[in-house]
Amino acid sequence: MKKFSGTSTKHISLQLVMPFLLLFLTTIKVRANNLRLRKHEEPSIEGRWDMTIYKSGKEFPSWLEVRLSGFHTLVGRFVGTGGSARPISRVNFSGGNMSFSIPPQWELGTNDILVEGKLQGDSLKGTLTSSDGKNYDWVAVRAPSLRRKSQPIWGKPIQLFNGSNLNGWHALGENQWMAASGILRSPKSGSNLVTDQTFTDFKLHIEFRYPKGSNSGVYLRGRYEVQIEDSKGNEPLNDQLGAVYGFLSPSDMMTKDPGEWQTYDITLVGRMVTVSANGKTVIFNQEIPGITGGAINSKEAEPGPLLIQGDHGPIEFRNIILTPAK
């Protein structure tokens, strides 16, 4: 019986395997080419969308992201009128019609939320069926990239809070905010407070203090919440102190004890954000994908105010200084 050396055996094995390997690689290449061709032939729903939901004659902001996973499966993320960004396991899209469903988050109903829409040029229109079975119309436009071509040149710092009254601010509802002795205070849950001025790119210094168990937030341009919460002892997750709510987690948990003054130093340029909490950078030049729950609107291309959250518990602020880009 003829004996084969180890080298000969390997050579024969490669000869047997190579045709199958080449066929496999060719198949992948053909599929990828077909997908690219089909992508050019058909309108695409992929990307980020700024949504507006209409409820009882009022507009509520929302957000959608759709992307391709693998050969042909569309997945995504959705931000409703409240709560955080939640994953979409599958987005159905065919003939210009789109649909997906997600389980309820903070909604009171128990049914899945169903979103259906139709692509019309560079816009989407459709209906959302909420967890309680009610239907609401919505529209969406493609979200702007907000990429900046150059680094900002900073202007003069603006003292947003004068320490004695609410000049330059207004409440979004019945006002519970009060100002005295350099402190801006919301003694109980109530309305959010926003600046009269709007801003685009800026640096922000803000100091805050909360009692045990309380919660608030600072909304950059009124759309992107940097979370404030009694997070002592918790892991640095994307819904804890220092996070961009639902999107970006802080690298470290820098929270102090309730009742102590704490600080944020935040830089926002386009979508890129840097957050320093109590003197340590916990998010460095990260992209904010879209609006967070509770935003004032979904008009991301526009300047927006600074909004401080007053509907989640007692909170105090002081030394609110914003330096806008020129």
Residue 309 is encoded by which pair of tokens? 């959250």
* pLDDT above 50 (res 191): yes
Q: How much is the mean pLDDT over the chain?
A: 91
Half-sphere CA count of 140, side-chain side, radius 13 A:
28
Local confidence band at 43 (pLDDT 50, 70, 90 cut-offs): confident
158-172 confidence digits (pLDDT tens): 999 999 999 999 999
* 262 and 172 together in one domain: yes
**Residue 239: inside a domain:** yes
* pLDDT above 80 (res 256): yes
**Residue 16: inside a domain:** no
* 116 and 165 together in one domain: no
Q: Where are the alpha helices (DSSP H) in 42-136?
A: none
Average pLDDT over residues 312-321: 97
* 126 and 162 together in one domain: no
Q: Quickly count helices (H) and strands (E) in the chain.
A: 1, 22
Chain CA centroid to CA 170, Å: 25
Could you give phi then psi for residue 112, rounded to 5 degrees? -65, 150
Q: What's the total number of domains in the chain? A: 2
Instruction: Give the containing element (helix H, strand E) for 282.
Output: strand 280-287
Local confidence band at 3 (pLDDT 50, 70, 90 cut-offs): very low
Domain of residue 180, CATH code: 2.60.120.560
Which amino acid would we find at residue 289?
A: P
Domain range for 296: 158-324
Q: In the prediction, which pLDDT does 75 show?
A: 98
Q: How big, in percent rounded to 5, are the helix, strand and coil portions of the chain? A: 10, 40, 45
Local confidence band at 10 (pLDDT 50, 70, 90 cut-offs): very low
Residue 94 is encoded by which pair of tokens? 């065919």
Average pLDDT over residues 83-87: 94
Half-sphere CA count of 17, side-chain side, radius 13 A:
6
26-38 confidence digits (pLDDT tens): 555 555 555 554 4
Q: In the prediction, which pLDDT does 24 show?
A: 58
* 307 and 241 together in one domain: yes
Longest dimension (CA), the chain: 101
Average pLDDT over residues 287-307: 98
Average pLDDT over residues 150-164: 97
- Tally the residues of the chain: 326
* pLDDT above 50 (res 312): yes
Q: Does the pTM exceed 0.75?
A: yes
**Residue 120: inside a domain:** yes
List the single range of 27-31, 89-93, 283-287 with lowest mean pLDDT: 27-31
- Can you tell me the distance from the alpha carbon of 152 to that of 146, in angstroms, rounded to the nearest whole number? 13
